[in-house]
Structure 1
């Protein structure tokens, strides 16, 4: 399952290869309550077909009309990026459905042979973090290896956007639940690695775009260079595998470490991990039962609960306080399989 950005970029490149005129719209600035965050993308074809989103729909409608009328980049005019702002006045904000006086600014980029979309897509699909720099004066783009930085920077002359998986997710276990977690995580733009040394599970893994390894879990954690942009979730229910990963993961800078199982099983797990010199402070980092309490029962529902909690932690939400407030005393936080 592609991330939102990847889906938009693939579509824009495909339309351009078909000989269509394509405009890539990027949200570069917002003021007030804008419907979409900075970095949101929209591809608009000359006949009004679109992929992606930059607002609740009204701005898309305006861009569609302008594309159909040939107003975005009139025939014979230079194919150079332009900057446009929506919601400057109260009337315009109302017209375009921008709440609370919201305003947003877009860079409209006509796709050309200088846009480097295929090089960008190739890099993303190889799980590389890359930076695309668009020069507004010339319309030329460059794609270079990236580092962790703001997703988008705009100074009026250059648009600098970071693409590729800025976050990684290591899943221990290749069972049914891992399949859903992996697919949903890809849509959230995680680079997903699945670790399972068991023959019966490794032979059946077939999720496209997910890296798979049969190394032992502790070796994978030690070898992958875990950083604050990494999440690690143990999903096998097998202490021989889950505990091996957790005893190393809890010592890393991973922003999220979780394990499936009931509260009773989590208590037993913590006692086992203490035998491997995992400290009390390190154990407080373990999210378990894994996932937010949403009444989840099926594997897809549990996958949603896990990724919901990961997303909250990534954005600095105190999920432990919420768990204490809302989780029934008899619940296993959805992770009953």
Structure 2
């Protein structure tokens, strides 16, 4: 899911308002297609649209086909070649080919199934729509059924070339404990990558809007603050205070949750002491091994901004490739 778009929700609302609606989804791309697989466009029966499947290259044709699908009640897959000129107009150097699945709401995509997807998205619960494009049957699937697809945000066809998975993951979230200099570089960089960033620090002089513009700031003690935020499989937790009184409560909460990444600032010696404290708390070795400490990839980072880059690189590696 691109950041936290509301394309499925929009399609459902249009259908329930009696306007008719269809959902168009990019299912395959070749070359420099403008949008990735899984990108969506909602089309209303009166021609309104929300979202994009090509950045503007083929939207007009998709809308026309979607209106036909709403009238006929039949799903279909469309194939478009994106010319070099059209691709250049939306910021690409060369063209490509995209295939787009169009599902009219109510017939191609059952209303109760779309409602289930929208409810799961609102609850930050990962869910997928699974479509058999031969028989045109659909169902939903849970993250535990296809963990690799969900971890990598990988919508796409199975090897049979007929079963398409549309992955709906919650938006990524970064929880930073410690409103320090590194956090000032890390938060805006993370936002560019699509993370909803939250900074936790009970020291109000550190966690200020002036230092962290347009950022959610929590001044509660970290264990209370992470409980307020809520931790799940789409969260990364980064601890930057160097102070066990602040880091450890959030660290214990992160270890108990299924967050995908935990990073803790500090030297190898500092991390060894951290491990001793966790062992004294009865934390299992396998859980302790989930902590990336010292935090970040070993790229020789020195400045706060470089350390932030190393942290985001490591977060991306774990998110997309998992832990070996």
Q: Give the whole-Å Cα distance in 2 for the aligned partners of 1:124 and 1:77.
A: 28
Q: Please identify, of 116-125 and 99-108, the stretch whose mean Cα deviation from structure 2 is larger.
A: 99-108
Residue 20 of structure 1 aligns with which residue? 19
Give the root-mean-square deviation of aligned CA atoms: 5.5
Structure 1 residues 272 and 158: CA distance shift in structure 2, 3 A: closer
Residue 74 of structure 2 aligns with which residue? 80
Q: Give the whole-Å Cα distance in 1 for the aligned partners of 2:9 and 2:74.
A: 21
Structure 1 residues 266 and 295: CA distance shift in structure 2, 3 A: closer
Structure 1 residues 99 and 233: CA distance shift in structure 2, 3 A: same
Is the Cα contact below 8 Å between 1:3 and 1:187 reproduced in 2?
Answer: no
CA apart distance, 1:62: 3.6
DSSP-derived class of the 1:72 partner: helix
Instruction: Work out whether 1:121 is the aligned partner of 2:115.
Output: no
Instruction: Work out whether 1:233 is the aligned partner of 2:238.
Output: yes
Unmatched runs of 5 consecutive residues or more in structure 1:
201-206, 317-337
Instruction: Work out whether 1:152 is the aligned partner of 2:155.
Output: yes
Is the Cα contact below 8 Å between 1:24 and 1:111 reproduced in 2?
Answer: yes
DSSP-derived class of the 2:9 partner: helix
Q: Give the whole-Å Cα distance in 2 for the aligned partners of 1:135 and 1:165.
A: 24
CA apart distance, 1:283: 8.1
CA apart distance, 1:244: 5.1
Q: Give the whole-Å Cα distance in 1 for the aligned partners of 2:80 and 2:22.
A: 17
Structure 1 residues 144 and 108: CA distance shift in structure 2, 3 A: same
TM-score, normalised to structure 1, is 0.59
TM-score, normalised to structure 2, is 0.61
Is the Cα contact below 8 Å between 2:4 and 2:171 reproduced in 1?
Answer: no
Instruction: Work out whether 1:106 is the aligned partner of 2:114.
Output: no
Residue 170 of structure 2 aligns with which residue? 165
Deviations 1:116-143 (A, max 9, x none): 2222111222222222223446655333
Q: Give the whole-Å Cα distance in 2 for the aligned partners of 1:193 and 1:53.
A: 29
Aligned length, in residue pairs = 288
CA apart distance, 1:311: 3.4
Q: Give the whole-Å Cα distance in 2 for the aligned partners of 1:93 and 1:110.
A: 28
